Amino acid sequence: MSRLSFLNMLARRVLRGSAGRVSRPIVRLSMFGVSLGVTIMLIAVGVTSGYKKIIEEKVVAMGQHICISHYDNNHSFEQVPINFNDTIKNELRQYPEIAGFQPFATKVGIIKTDDQVEGIVLKGVDTSFNWKLFNTNIIEGGPVTFNDSAASGDIIISKKISDKLKIKVGEKVRTYFVQDPPRQRSFKVSGIYETGMPEFDSKIAIVDLRHVQKLNDWSAEQVSGIEVLTNDYGNVDATGEKLHQNLDVTLKAQTIKQTYPEIFGWIALFDTNVSVLLTITTVVCVISMLSVFFIIILEQTKLIGILKTLGMRTSEIVGTFIMVAGYTLARGLLVGNAIAIGIGLLQQKHHLVKLDPDTYYIDFVPINFELWQVLLLNVGVFAACLLVIALPAWFVSRKIQPAKAVRFE
């Protein structure tokens, strides 16, 4: 039998030998504490990850990862146009970080029914628009139908505007634009969308790009901006800065984080809160493991004395009791993971815990478990507990004298 196998066998006998003693309820309580702590940590990480993922998807569906526009443009929807021609298309295709791009144009107007009036912003898109991302937000009807001969008469409005003006899919709506001379357009509602985000739902309506270009007296190449989708959202800041530095001096590139700083600044607070929660919970797990460790050491003082008398080294005794702590910790982690993942799956499927969409942009608590996050959290808690235990284990084992320990009761 190898030395490691012997220490492993000894650790298991020590753990089984604690049954029925004072340490038994303490061990169970410690396992419960670790399980509860890991459950809380995993759910906190899963909720944060899920929430960030959904909000990012909602924002990206409306505006992609990066927006290229004229340098003089501010947050107004009446923007200075840029040319969307073969030159800039070929330039954007040179970037391996870019997965796709699409032009857009905006126009402020008024949508009117027989007894209601509401301000809107028409967002004109063309056939390159990423409907795969946006379709997840469409709750009634379908996307804009494009044709080559003329601009499509379809419009997609938000549920908020639909409810306020009592407009349904298939109905005609009239829009008016204050300019010289004033203009009017009629559209048929092809779809109704809902993102839960007032930045979009309160004003944005999707139409054919050619309508907005005509309203702005622009040519077929002129647009308000170009929305860019990257291959890796994690590198969106670096890609945005690279585009900003390399594009023509009259153009600027802004990431969605820069375009919507209030949204992503609010999301960043989640990371801070979760970091504090993880730190506190890890400390609780460490204290719980230290308590059970010292109680087991106290119960096994006589055994330690016998092992020293038989010639076992202090490092081997320390390793044995660290294994004991490791087995207890592993059981707690397994139970905690099972509970957390079970709760997460139930929430994902049935949306048991609800939220106020007016405050949180979504009507349920989202949970998304990333494998690397689960593994990192478990390894981190396991390593932190064992590292904290190692020093007192070595100190206590070294201080125990065989002659006194053998007579210890």
Q: Is the same domain home to 158 and 94?
A: yes
* pLDDT recorded at residue 85: 93
* pLDDT recorded at residue 19: 47
Q: Is the same domain home to 171 and 49?
A: no
Number of structural domains (the chain) is 2
Q: Is the same domain home to 201 and 225?
A: yes
Q: Is the same domain home to 273 and 143?
A: no
Tell me the pairing of strands 117-125 and 204-208.
parallel
* pLDDT recorded at residue 191: 96
Give, as one character, the DSSP assignment of residue 136.
G
Q: Is the same domain home to 311 and 388?
A: yes
Instruction: Examine residue 254 and state whether it is found in any structural domain, yes or no.
Output: no
**Mean pLDDT, the chain cut into blocks of 10 residues (409 residues total):** 62 59 68 88 91 86 88 69 93 93 93 87 93 91 90 94 93 88 91 90 94 93 94 90 91 90 82 86 83 71 66 69 79 92 92 84 88 92 82 62 48
* pLDDT recorded at residue 355: 85
Instruction: Examine residue 253 and state whether it is found in any structural domain, yes or no.
Output: no
Listed in sequence order, the residues at least 6 apart from 310 whose beta carbon sits closer than 8 Å to its beta carbon are none
* pLDDT recorded at residue 115: 81
Q: Is the same domain home to 29 and 93?
A: no
Residue 152 in 3-state DSSP? coil
Answer with the one of 248, 281, 316 that is the final residue of a domain. 248
Instruction: Examine residue 66 and state whether it is found in any structural domain, yes or no.
Output: no
Distances (CA, A) of 234 to 60, 242, 345: 13, 14, 26
Distance CA(251)–CA(253), nearest Å, equals: 7
Q: Is the same domain home to 161 and 273?
A: no
Instruction: Examine residue 259 and state whether it is found in any structural domain, yes or no.
Output: no
Instruction: Examine residue 331 and state whether it is found in any structural domain, yes or no.
Output: yes
Instruction: Examine residue 323 and state whether it is found in any structural domain, yes or no.
Output: yes
Q: Is the same domain home to 238 and 89?
A: yes
Q: Decide if 144 contacts 207 (C-beta within 8 A).
A: yes
- Which tokens hold the place of 408? 């210890």
Answer with the one of 248, 273, 292 that is the final residue of a domain. 248
Residues for the chain: how many in total? 409
Q: Decide if 78 contacts 224 (C-beta within 8 A).
A: no
Q: Decide if 29 contacts 332 (C-beta within 8 A).
A: no
Q: Is the same domain home to 41 and 128?
A: no
Answer with the one of 248, 272, 298 that is the final residue of a domain. 248
Q: Is the same domain home to 238 and 269?
A: no
Q: Is the same domain home to 49 and 86?
A: no
Q: Is the same domain home to 397 and 320?
A: yes
> Domain limits at 318?
3-58+264-406
* pLDDT recorded at residue 73: 66
Instruction: Examine residue 63 and state whether it is found in any structural domain, yes or no.
Output: no
Instruction: Examine residue 313 and state whether it is found in any structural domain, yes or no.
Output: yes
* pLDDT recorded at residue 287: 83
Q: Is 66 exposed, middle or buried (0-12, 13-18, 19+ CB in 10 A)?
A: buried
Q: Decide if 38 contacts 333 (C-beta within 8 A).
A: yes
